[in-house]
Amino acid sequence: MFDINTAIGHWPFRRLPRRTAGELRQYLQSYGVKGAAVASTPALFYMNSQDANLELAEEIAPHRDFFVGVATLNPGYAAAVRDLDTCVEKLGFRALRLSPCYHNYNLADGTADALLTRAGELGIPVLLPNEIVNFRQKHWMEPNQPLGMESVLAICARFPQVTFIGTEGGYNLSMTAPPNLCLEMSRYYSCYGQALADMVRKLGSEQILFGSGAPFKEIEPSLLKLHHCQIPDAQKELIAGGNARRLLGL
Amino acid sequence: MQTALPQELAAIDAHNHVRAGADGNLDVGRAEALLQGCSRLGIDRIAVSVPYTDSVVAPERYRAGNEVVWQAMQHSPRFIGFCFVDAHDPAAALAEIEHCIVERNMAGVKLYHQFFVDADEQRPVMEKAASLGVPVLMHAGKCTDPATMAAQPRLSNAGHFRVALEKYPETILIQGHIGGGGDWEWNLRTLEGIDSDNYYIDLSGSVIDAGIVRRSVDTVGCERLLFATDGSLEEGVGKLLAAGLSMREMRLICHDNFARIMARRKV
């Protein structure tokens, strides 16, 4: 089992449990998770996100057998492309996370183009969270609405050489299924209508990834969704960890 | 890891919904999917309603919705009916409550956001529910995003419930979905110290923030909480399992509290 959607660090708007790498690792392992992609929560708020990535690298250094670092960068800030190179080549990170809502740009306005081009050259996937916490409980300093899957689909079309991972929901079966779009599954149902299984059939089992959203969210719902998803065991194994390990080059 | 609630709990989902199909009758396929999903997760019975989100709902519309609830009750004894009304037309609302509760054995009244729970306009409905000894389950939340605030200007929060408890002291109130979206911490802080046998809050909703159930237990006590999903089945079961509650606490939340409310029925 590999969790593609975790984070560490302080969240300014609510007290989170398990904010350190050690605490999060212990928690995930208690549920049978063998590894996780982890991003820095403070990187959403620092003007210079790279400092948060450096902090993340230090924090997970004793846990490199478990955590894979995800660089969170603001493409509108100075040296973002150079920072991505540093994250991948020196810090050993294996994915990029973009959060246009928190870094105040639009995926369609070209701000992220150079960074996405570089991510494609480096062959790393790009995580696009639809939201960090549910937007209906937003702090007044937070964005007013989620990212929205339309902008994700549009960026998939503009950057076909980049693999995108949509996290925290937003997709529905009426939407197109670009070959370079993967989805983290924590927001899709299994027991009431088998939406997750339908999504597996539409996008392919290679494009759905297990994720929990820890430490923001409880992990149990995601585990229940995977357990009760009515698909063959081989497909479940891909979703549980095989796909994430392939995309991250593990 | 547990993959379902223990069968011995005979868990009751206190807040869920059925829908009409294209022909206006119960969408049987969807109702069956709900029953099957609940079975997978160890949920025994399901309280269902058909609410309407318009600012004013004509009686003929909610009568049609309540007919769908009645069809669900006939489809499976696992469905427990709640009747939806809008207090804009008090006479029609009271007649529908009488019809659904007394003649059709529905278990409670469901309100949405046509008025705040503590509004004067709710008085006839609140007093009618009290006279029948059935609860009023109300859509609720403390949403802070502009879109929801604009769309639901009369969305009740915990503050409204505290006022309503004083204003309608004989009425059993169920505050809907602590995890239904919105600042649940604000709601819990507002509920600190609440001590009324007429107040309950259900745990439903898609929000599964870490610690939400434990914080709810610590704030209002497990005697005031009702297990529910509002359609988010894995979320409802998963966040409850995550709380690490004792079997006694689980039993109260999943079954006994709801049963205690039902035992107060007067008709």
Predicted-complex ipTM score:
0.96
CA distance A55 to chain B (A): 24
Query: Does residue B5 belong to any structural domain of this protein?
Result: no
Cis omega before residue A62 (within 30°)? no
Chain B residues whose CB is inside 8 A of the A220 CB are: 1, 234, 237-239, 241-242
Given the DSSP bridges, would you call strands B225-226 and B79-84 parallel, antiparallel or unpaired?
unpaired
Secondary structure class of A34 (helix, strand, coil):
coil
- What span, in angstroms and rounded, lies between the C-alpha atoms of A85 and A93? 9
Backbone angles phi, psi at A173, to 5 degrees: -70, -10
Helix (H) or strand (E) holding A71: strand A67-72
CATH of the domain at A56: 3.20.20.140
DSSP assigned state of B166: H
* Interface residue ranges in chain B relative to chain A, Cβ cutoff 8 Å: 1, 3, 30, 33-34, 36-38, 40-41, 141-148, 181-185, 206-212, 231-235, 237-239, 241-242
Q: Locate the DSSP E strands across chain B.
A: 11-17, 43-49, 79-84, 108-111, 136-138, 173-175, 199-202, 225-226
Joined tokens for residue A169:
């929901």
Minimal-distance CA residue of chain B relative to A212: B208
Chain A residues whose CB is inside 8 A of the B234 CB are: 189-191, 220-222, 224-225, 228
Query: Does residue B3 belong to any structural domain of this protein?
Result: no
Minimal-distance CA residue of chain B relative to A132: B209
Chain B residues whose CB is inside 8 A of the A134 CB are: 181, 206-207, 209
Cross-strand partners of A166: A128, A183
The pLDDT of residue A193: 87
Pick from A134, A189, A218: CB nearest B242: A218
CA distance A39 to chain B (A): 18
Q: How many CB pairs under 8 A join A and B?
A: 104
How many distinct structural domains can be found in chain A? Answer: 1
The pLDDT of residue B1: 84
Contact in structure between A239 and A209 (CB atoms under 8 Å): yes
Taking an 8 Å cut-off on Cβ atoms, the answer to whether B210 and A18 are in contact is yes
Residue A142 CA, distance from chain mean position: 19
Query: Does residue B58 belong to any structural domain of this protein?
Result: yes
Burial class of residue B100 (count of CB atoms within 10 Å of its CB; 0-12, 13-18, 19+)? buried
Q: How confident is the model at residue A84 (pLDDT cuts 50, 70, 90)?
A: very high
Chain B residues whose CB is inside 8 A of the A136 CB are: 141, 143-145, 148, 181-182
Chain B residues whose CB is inside 8 A of the A214 CB are: 210
- Name the CA radius of gyration of chain A, rounded: 17
Chain A residues whose CB is inside 8 A of the B38 CB are: 191
Burial B50-76 (b: 16+ CB within 10 A, else e): bbbeeeebebeebbebbbbbbbbbeee
- What span, in angstroms and rounded, lies between the C-alpha atoms of A38 and A60? 9
Per-residue pLDDT tens for B208-223?
A: 999 999 999 999 999 9
Per-residue pLDDT tens for B66-121?
A: 999 999 999 999 999 999 999 999 999 999 999 999 999 999 999 999 999 999 99
Instruction: Report the candidate in A18, A7, A21 with the shortest Cα–Cα distance to residue A59.
Output: A21
- CB-based contacts of A39: which residues, under 8 Å, 6+ apart? A6, A7, A56, A69, A70, A71, A72, A97, A127
User: What secondary structure does DSSP assign to B176-243, as a single string?
Assistant: --TTSSS-HHHHHHHHTT---TTEEEE--SS--BTTHHHHHHHHH-GGGEE---TT-HHHHHHHHHHT
Which residue, chain included where needed, has tokens 């399992």? B241
Contact in structure between B104 and B97 (CB atoms under 8 Å): no
Minimal-distance CA residue of chain A relative to B146: A144
- CB-based contacts of A110: which residues, under 8 Å, 6+ apart? none
Contact in structure between B228 and B16 (CB atoms under 8 Å): yes
Domain that holds residue A61: 2-248
- What span, in angstroms and rounded, lies between the C-alpha atoms of B117 and B162? 10
Minimal-distance CA residue of chain B relative to A227: B3
The pLDDT of residue B28: 98
**Helices and strands per DSSP (H, E), number in chain B:** 11, 8
CA distance A210 to chain B (A): 15
Per-residue pLDDT tens for B213-252?
A: 999 999 999 999 999 999 999 999 999 999 999 999 999 9
The pLDDT of residue B93: 98
Average pLDDT, chain A: 97
How many distinct structural domains can be found in chain B? Answer: 1
Chain B residues whose CB is inside 8 A of the A140 CB are: 144
Taking an 8 Å cut-off on Cβ atoms, the answer to whether B234 and A135 are in contact is no
Pick from B145, B207, B233: CB nearest A138: B145
- Tell whether the model's pLDDT for residue B158 goes beyond 90: yes
Taking an 8 Å cut-off on Cβ atoms, the answer to whether A192 and B148 are in contact is no
Domain that holds residue B29: 10-262
Given the DSSP bridges, would you call strands B11-17 and A208-209 parallel, antiparallel or unpaired?
unpaired
CATH of the domain at B195: 3.20.20.140
Per-residue pLDDT tens for A202-213?
A: 999 999 999 999
CA distance A16 to chain B (A): 7
Per-residue pLDDT tens for B141-153?
A: 999 999 999 999 9
